[in-house]
């Protein structure tokens, strides 16, 4: 989790979309179908609403240490 900087969510285009983890020090592959840090969804791939809770959980876990630091300094 400490290497994950964030999540990029790409809305459905042509009945496909993706959710990609941004990992520190790694360049994302241009095609999410070939990127192990991506989850592809859409027709025949899984529903969009299944990926959104995952994205929210990852973002919360990534941002939690930053929020705790701000609160401690506050």
Whole-prediction pTM: 0.57
The pLDDT tens digits along the chain (74 residues) read 778 888 888 776 666 778 888 888 988 888 888 888 888 877 666 666 666 777 778 778 877 777 788 889 87
What pLDDT score does 21 carry? 84
Structural domain tally of the chain?
1
Q: What are phi and psi of 43, to 5 degrees?
A: -60, 120
Q: Which domain range does residue 24 map to?
A: 4-73
What pLDDT score does 46 carry? 62
CA 65 → CA 2, 7, 41, 59, distances in Å? 9, 16, 29, 11
What pLDDT score does 45 carry? 60
What pLDDT score does 70 carry? 83
């Amino acid at each position: 989790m400490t290497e994950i900087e964030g999540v990029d969510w790409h809305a459905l285009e042509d009945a496909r979309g993706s959710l990609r983890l941004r990992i520190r020090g790694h360049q994302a592959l241009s095609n999410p179908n070939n990127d192990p840090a991506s989850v592809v969804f859409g027709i025949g791939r899984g529903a969009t609403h299944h990926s959104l809770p995952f994205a929210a959980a990852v973002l919360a876990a990534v941002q939690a240490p930053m929020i705790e630091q701000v609160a401690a300094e506050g």
